[in-house]
Structure 1
Amino acid sequence: MKNHFLKTLLFLISITLFLSCEKNELDEAYIAKGAYDLGFIVSNEGNFGSPNASISFISADLSTTINEVYSKENNAPVGDILQSITFDDNYAYLILNNSNKVEVVDKYTFKRITTLTQEDIELPRYADTKDGKLYITNARSKSVVIYNIADFSYETTIDIGRAVEQIIVEDDFMYIQNAAYGSGNNITVVDLKTNTVIKTLVTGKGLNSMEEEDGVLYAMHNTGITKIDISTNEVIGEITLRGSLEKPSKLDIEDSNIYFISGSSIYSSPITSTELSDIPLVNSEVVAESWFTGYGFAVENNRIFYADVKGFSENSVVLVYDLEGKFLKSINTGIGTNNIYFND
């Protein structure tokens, strides 16, 4: 019996080691799907009224940077004010605010696929995708425009009737931030089955960013974070501010930790916290007018990115840190870096 047990144990160990080796070999044999696979995509907003928005690519190991990605791949400028980028399994959707359009590109090659310019796309802001649909918020029309991704055909427009900014589509609902530029404290909930507004949630004043994690919607505002259970669409709690912390913004969640900025500093707290830490993880020491401080901020693939946009008068410099706040590198990008995404 004892020998049988030992033989069985050795067999299981050998199988585990074999599978582990197989996985490592597969990882090492991974073939990139394009020049911009497995790296960081940088959204550079550009100057208002000038078609100088751009996209930068930073390799995962931070050793290589390619600027003007869209222009190089398509021999054309991307447009005026690159507000945000949304990704799905195949495409990247470039939201061009002042150009009133969405450029759809292959997410791995950044070759243009098509341009969305339906008349209800008016000052587009953010987008999300789910089940073959693309949802776009539009500031001027205060609406959400829906496209069918299969053929990029226009489907319908949902009138929200108030400010629309960030959008999160999760399960059977759409959550739309009804706040912009430091004003507003509502989130509109839309039922995706009927495309109708079913509820308005109230947060603290100055709602500025949202993230969903493990069935909870986290909504950051001037006095903390409102937590919403997306299975019931009910507010379930608040994470308050501690000490001298003021007006947190740019909420991001990575590995069960909340990251955000206040002034020129970066902060972190466990997602289970009841208070947000007022001890800086990083002081970027970037000196700028308040509007430009922390203009571009993201936590992606175990890296923290903080953009110094230099008042939009020259190319931005992105400061990169690890999750413990150790400075790793500064990288030159484009005019007005406003976000960084990991492309995989």
Structure 2
Amino acid sequence: MNKRLKLFAMFAVIMLLQNCTSDDREIIIDNPPPSGNYANGIFVLNEGGYTHSNASVSFIDVSGQVYNNVFFAVNGRELGDVAQSMTFYEDKAYILINNSNTIEVVNRYTFEKITTIENGISNPRYMTFVGDKGYITNWGDPADTTDDYVAVLDTQTNVIINTILVPEGPEAILNNNGTLYVAHKGGWGYGNTISVLDATSETITYSIAVSDVPGNMVTQNNDLYVICSGKGGYTGDETLAGFYKINMITNQVEDEIAFADGVHPGYLEINNNSLLYTLNSEVFEMELTDFSLSTAALFSTSPQNVGVLYGFRIINGNIYIADAKDYVSNGEVLVYNLQGEYQEGFDVKIIPNGFYNNN
């Protein structure tokens, strides 16, 4: 079975599991939302089931109270099909809805809808800003390797004003003083480059070769750190994962590490002078002054019975982990301190995948 057929088979299995639930389309407001005030707390983006249009947003306030289905509670309608990511610009929140091919724009403090962006959006993934423009990675048709692009948004009108063609599968996008770095994870294929895009000319100026499937990127001073998961064994063409340190002045790889055979890391975060990354159910820590893989995990999420580690973020000195469970049940948010000690957990909705601090 070739790579694309295997991916279709995986999608079929996931959709079959999702169709086995009787209540996954039901919108339930667990608690009344705070009255028009979502400041000083953390949003949790819940992806929802593929094709089920039950994506949602949860909010955890400073007292630890959880409010689920915030978008529905405020606006009286569902968010859409597969919430991919969210980002803030001034007083607005942009929620990228992948399979619906839309971006919902809301007031980040009241969550009232401002507008829905539909034109110029095709399978949106992630977004960043330079000045008054937003830059959005789009897969287009994941089966077409030639239609991927970065959309340029005028934040004053919320209209797409340009599209920049890029290699297949643009995923994470990061702004470094007007220079954009785009990780090409691959659509239904697999990518292994980082594009350097000049926001002024809106053109690609450089391409940096890395390992297969580059994911999260973080920066410290003039260095860009990229973690690449490599192709998994299920592809029939397994490749090594890698860790890269790239000088953003020269756009040259200064250091790189290959993971062992069969080891495929997940998420990457930075905390002061440390890099933290996930591997299966464990979290590892690496000092920036010693760019080498850790021999022992900082901590494991196994004691909390995490089913699928599906999101990872450091906020206000705490580590937030999303547990997607079995992809059809409601998920959970688990909080650890920076030493890896479990603090508390919160019940959220289907497939939590990201955390956004609204302080």
Match of residue 308, structure 1, among 301, 305, 323: 323
Aligned to 1:175: 181
Match of residue 147, structure 1, among 128, 150, 153: 153
Q: 1:189 to 1:69 in 2, by over 3 A?
A: same
Q: SS of the counterpart of 1:311?
A: coil
Displacement, 1:322? 0.7
The answer to whether 1:157 aligns with 2:163 is yes
Where does structure 1 lack aligned partners over 5 or more consecutive residues?
1-31
Q: How does 1:225-244 map to 2 (within 5 A)?
A: 225-239=243-257, 241=259
Where does structure 2 lack aligned partners over 5 or more consecutive residues?
1-33, 141-146, 230-240
Q: Tell me the alpha carbon deviations over residues 123-143 of structure 1, each in whole angstroms, 9 at most, x when there is no partner.
A: 111111120111111111310
Aligned to 1:20: none
Aligned to 1:21: none
Q: 1:78 to 1:164 in 2, by over 3 A?
A: same
Displacement, 1:99? 0.6
Displacement, 1:271? 2.3
Q: Is the 8 A contact 1:182 1:208 kept in 2?
A: no
Amino acid at match of 2:59: F
Displacement, 1:113? 0.9
The answer to whether 1:261 aligns with 2:263 is no
Aligned to 1:51: 53
Aligned to 2:340: 325
Aligned to 2:65: 64
Distance in 1, Cα, partners of 2:252 & 2:198: 15
Q: 1:336 to 1:72 in 2, by over 3 A?
A: same
Distance in 2, Cα, partners of 1:277 & 1:38: 35
Amino acid at match of 2:53: P
Aligned to 2:309: 294
Distance in 2, Cα, partners of 1:271 & 1:126: 26
Q: SS of the counterpart of 1:310?
A: coil
Q: SS of the counterpart of 1:49?
A: coil
Displacement, 1:75? 1.0
- Structure 1 segments of 4+ aligned residues over 6 angstroms from their partners: none
Displacement, 1:144? 0.6
Displacement, 1:232? 2.3
Q: SS of the counterpart of 1:70?
A: helix
Distance in 1, Cα, partners of 2:162 & 2:116: 17
Distance in 1, Cα, partners of 2:148 & 2:216: 18
Aligned to 1:106: 107
Q: Highest CA radius of gyration, 1 or 2? A: 1
Aligned to 2:118: 117
Aligned to 2:28: none
Q: Is the 8 A contact 2:308 2:325 kept in 1?
A: no
Q: 1:319 to 1:245 in 2, by over 3 A?
A: farther
The answer to whether 1:276 aligns with 2:293 is yes
Amino acid at match of 1:85: M
Distance in 2, Cα, partners of 1:182 & 1:105: 33
Distance in 2, Cα, partners of 1:314 & 1:155: 39
Q: Is the 8 A contact 2:167 2:184 kept in 1?
A: no
Distance in 2, Cα, partners of 1:247 & 1:33: 43
Displacement, 1:239? 4.7
Distance in 1, Cα, partners of 2:131 & 2:201: 15
Q: Is the 8 A contact 2:123 2:138 kept in 1?
A: yes
TM-score, length of structure 2 as denominator length = 0.80
Q: SS of the counterpart of 2:60?
A: strand
TM-score, length of structure 1 as denominator length = 0.84
Displacement, 1:238? 2.3
Amino acid at match of 1:135: Y
Distance in 2, Cα, partners of 1:255 & 1:105: 31
The answer to whether 1:213 aligns with 2:220 is yes
Amino acid at match of 1:299: I
Q: Tell me the alpha carbon deviations over residues 225-279 of structure 1, each in whole angstroms, 9 at most, x when there is no partner.
A: 21112222222222555x8992222111122221111011111222222212131
Q: Is the 8 A contact 1:315 1:335 kept in 2?
A: yes
